[in-house]
Amino acid sequence: MAADLEEKTNRYGELLAAALEEATIAPPEGTPMANAAADCYEMAASYLDDGNHFQEHDDLVNALASFSYGHAWLDAGARVGLFDVPREGHLFTVD
């Protein structure tokens, strides 16, 4: 079971890192929606940092939770139009 948790944690961390690289803020700069997108992006990036910290300290449960929460911020933002994201592939559930 520990190996499964480690593999899943690694996979989710990589997924969040890749999603952060692909997501770009969609609304025009300076608009309230662009500010909301920036906040969501910052939350996702912070959860990636938190997850990496937990992972470095062998706290895989909290690392996995952090990576999952971070990706949820991006995925939800993509679904409501805050981010331009790839519509193909496995990074986002926009379609």
Segment 21-77, tens digit of pLDDT:
999 999 999 999 999 999 999 999 999 999 999 999 999 999 999 999 999 999 999
d(CA 64, CA 13) in angstroms, rounded, equals: 7
The encoded tokens of residue 26 equal 């969609």
d(CA 72, CA 44) in angstroms, rounded, equals: 8
d(CA 75, CA 15) in angstroms, rounded, equals: 11
Question: What is the structure's pLDDT at 7?
Answer: 95
Q: How many CB atoms lie within 10 A of CB 76?
A: 14
pTM here is 0.91
Question: What is the structure's pLDDT at 92?
Answer: 87
d(CA 8, CA 90) in angstroms, rounded, equals: 15
Whether the Cβ atoms of residue 41 and residue 83 lie closer than 8 Å to each other: yes
Quick one: pLDDT band at residue 1, thresholds 50, 70, 90?
A: low
Question: What is the structure's pLDDT at 71?
Answer: 97
Question: What is the structure's pLDDT at 89?
Answer: 83
